[in-house]
Amino acid sequence: MSRSPPGEADKPLTPVELELMQLVWRLGEVSVADVLAALPAERKLAYTSVSTVLRILEQKGVVRSRKVGRGHVYSALLAREDYEARSVRHLVETVFAGTPSALVERLVEAVPLSPEEVEQLRKLLGQKKGEPS
Amino acid sequence: MSRSPPGEADKPLTPVELELMQLVWRLGEVSVADVLAALPAERKLAYTSVSTVLRILEQKGVVRSRKVGRGHVYSALLAREDYEARSVRHLVETVFAGTPSALVERLVEAVPLSPEEVEQLRKLLGQKKGEPS
DNA sequence: GCATTACAACTAAAGTCTTAGTAGTTTGGG
DNA sequence: CCCAAACTACTAAGACTTTAGTTGTAATGC
């Protein structure tokens, strides 16, 4: 029942949902206990809280679950790249309305970038140059 | 009383707060009526709703108000550029943990960029190259 | 076969966000 | 000087989010 009416489907994940999704993306197929173990030590969540959030993510169509042994394992349905793309699009629309290049401007100002990263970005833009939309 | 404990100060604005801030940034110094008038026709908000949100923004230290005639006019305390920078930083931390360049990668994939914009970005990166963090 | 344990589903409570009504105050006109 | 209009502050209701407890069920060991 992955009910995801298109209008709802691309709403951003809530903070905790995203926090757990990062783990799902990183680990692949996870049980509730796996997620709990992968959380940083200072982040204390009850087993039932993790379970609840994973179930919500399944309702939203973001993960799917498979019955294994006595419990379930969860894996991503929404690809990390897709969520990243969606997030950038959302930020451009809400904060940088109409001027996506300002986003990059702020990025290089606000986040320390290594020379290697800068070089990589230049290459990336080089490829894109002159490509039709 | 712009109470803004540093820990709270850089929390993202809520959707409606951001929506109204975009207007404040665009228009400069605004009354409640100005904001209401500047909203797109399909966006129906009551006068009191706009007033409430502006007051919340003032409590958060994002705008300041000045008494003019019978009412107040509001203007930005938080610069648009600062909020943009903060937003990018937040996105990098929560979604693109550790790999800011992936953000640009998704940007050029997900958002149509004109060749002029691409060129502008390349220049921007050129300036940044080799600069210490 | 039965008790113990691990787990999922349901439920709930506290917190925040959004929206707008109500009541009260200030101002300006007659 | 008083009434009407505009405007603000207070308040509240509904929705959603976060967190976790409780309860029922399934499997596991003995």
Over residues B22-44, the pLDDT tens digits come to 999 999 999 999 999 999 999 99
Q: How far is CA B8 from CA A59, B87, B93, B124, in A?
A: 32, 14, 17, 32
The pTM for the full model equals 0.86
| B45-97: pLDDT as tens digits | 999 999 999 999 999 999 999 988 888 999 999 999 999 999 999 999 999 98
Residues of chain B with Cβ-Cβ distance to A89 below 8 Å are: 110-111
Alpha helices, H only, chain A = 6-9, 15-27, 32-38, 47-59, 80-94, 100-110, 115-128
| A59-71: pLDDT as tens digits | 999 999 998 888 8
Check whether residue B115 has its CB closer than 7 Å to nucleic acid strand C. no
Cβ atoms within 10 Å, residue B82: 14
Candidates B13, B84, B131, partner chain A, best to mutate (most A CBs within 10 A): B84
Candidates B105, B107, B119, B123, partner chain A, best to mutate (most A CBs within 10 A): B107
Q: How far is CA A16 from CA A53, A54, A97, A99, in A?
A: 8, 10, 27, 30
Structure tokens at A50: 């993790």
Q: How far is CA B86 from CA A15, A92, A95, B44, B81, in A?
A: 16, 14, 11, 29, 9
In single-letter form, the type of residue at position A51 comes to S
Structure tokens at A7: 């209008």
At B2, is the pLDDT very low, low, confident or very high (cuts 50, 70, 90)? very low
Name the strand (E) or helix (H) holding A63: strand A63-68
Per-residue tens of pLDDT for chain A, all 133 residues: 444 444 456 789 999 999 999 999 999 999 999 999 999 999 999 999 999 999 999 999 999 999 888 889 999 999 999 999 999 999 999 999 878 888 988 988 888 788 888 888 888 777 665 455 4
Cβ <8 Å between A108 and B126: no
**Res B3: pLDDT:** 41
Cβ <8 Å between B110 and A86: yes
For residues B128 and A6, give the distance between their C-alpha atoms in angstroms, rounded to a whole number. Answer: 40
> Hey, is A72 helix, strand or coil?
strand
| B4-17: pLDDT as tens digits | 444 456 789 999 99
| B103-121: pLDDT as tens digits | 988 988 888 888 888 888 8
Query: B63-68 and B71-76 as β-strands: parallel, antiparallel, unpaired?
Result: antiparallel
